[in-house]
Amino acid sequence: MEFTVCCVPVSAMRKEPSHRSEMVSQQLFGERSVVLEEPVGDWIKIELKYDGYRGWVQKAHLSEIDSDQFDSGERGLTAAWVNEIDYNGHPMHVPMGCSLSAFSNGKAFWRKNIVHFKGEVWNPAEVKVTPKLIRNIAYRFLNTPYLWGGKSVFGIDCSGYTQLSFKFLDMYLPRDAWQQAETGEVVNFLQEARCGDLAFFDNDENRIVHVGILLSNFEIIHAAGKVRVDKIDSQGILNQDTGNRTHRLRIIKRYF
């Protein structure tokens, strides 16, 4: 079995081995994966260790690692909005939330590749989750542009936003909104919601298609066009700029 780690700031994961194929997700620098299939040209199919998501990525975006590095625990996340990494003696700027996989004392050896990081490290296991901290993390993504399949401050989709935000809070969420809706505990009424609950929204086919983080029982932050704060009531989201109703509320879940 071949184990790999993402060695570029952000790498597109595509449905098929082609640049023209839909981007289904992304891997961020330091994310570990296992190779699933033989390469097809410059493409290789992987499964991410963190959430089991599968997709085709460019081989040049991966570095091979040893099995013990693949199995090692997380060593923290990059904490700044943009962080400088030294990769084989050259600078690389990576986004907030990258995994410092197999790092020790700010250094990692991924086979022939030497990686140094001297920046601020966020250790999710050491945080105390409070409404103030939830808001602090959520607001750091404000105005990040919406990007289908995106999950970084350079471009993000609704479930990528909730997943990465919760990762900073040491709470695992699966990748897609419908998967996230199957976890957590139900909050029966919006009036009972509190900061950090997730609100899920459906379409005319009753499929969960959107998710956001509740800041209170009347306000939500979510990725729609960009990461933005809007009003919410028992029917759904009201765009603060236009006054239009944009999403229909289906269910609220609690995780903390």
pLDDT tens track for 82-100: 999 999 999 999 999 999 9
Are residues 6 and 28 in contact, defined by beta-carbon separation less than 8 angstroms? yes
Task: Say whether pLDDT at 34 is over 80.
Answer: yes
Strands (E), 37-162: 43-48, 54-58, 62-65, 77-78, 82-87, 90-95, 107-110, 113-116, 121-122, 151-152, 155-156
pLDDT at residue 124 in the model: 96
228 DSSP β-pair partners: 222
Please report the pLDDT score of residue 107 as a whole number. Answer: 94
The Cβ-side half-sphere exposure at 104, using a 13 Å CA radius, reads 6
Q: Is the pLDDT of residue 78 over 80?
A: yes
CB atoms within 10 A of CB 63: 18
Q: In this structure, what DSSP letter does residue 126 have?
A: G
Domains and CATH numbers, the chain: 3-122 (2.30.30.40), 127-254 (3.90.1720.10)
- CB crowding 194-209: b at 16 or more within 10 Å, else e: ebbbbbbbbeeeeebb
- Split at pLDDT 50, 70, 90, the class of 101 is confident
Amino acid at 254: R
Element (H, E) at 31: none
- Report whether 77 contacts 97 (CB < 8 A): yes
Helix then strand then coil, in percent of the chain rounded to 5, is 15, 40, 45
How much is the pTM? 0.96
79 Cβ contact list (under 8 Å, min separation 6): 96, 119, 120, 121, 122
> Is residue 45 a contact partner of residue 70, using CB atoms and an 8 Å limit?
no
Output the average pLDDT for the chain. Answer: 96
Among the ranges given (61-75, 139-153, 231-245), the one the predictor scored with the smallest mean pLDDT? 61-75
Q: What is the rounded CA–CA span in Å between residue 173 and residue 62?
A: 24
Looking at per-residue pLDDT, the higher value among 73 and 68 belongs to 68
pLDDT digits (tens, 9 = 90+) for 115-144: 999 999 999 999 999 999 999 999 999 999
Span 205-240, pLDDT tens digits: 999 999 999 999 999 999 999 999 999 999 999 999
Give the model's pLDDT for residue 225.
97
Amino acid 73: pLDDT: 75
Which pLDDT belongs to residue 75? 72
CB 88 within 8 A of CB 114: yes
- Distance linking the first and last C-alpha atoms of the chain: 36
Q: Give CA–CA dist 202/186, Å, rounded.
A: 16
pLDDT digits (tens, 9 = 90+) for 183-202: 999 999 999 999 999 999 99
Spatial neighbors of 188 by CB under 8 A, at least 6 apart, are: none
pLDDT at residue 74 is higher than 80: no
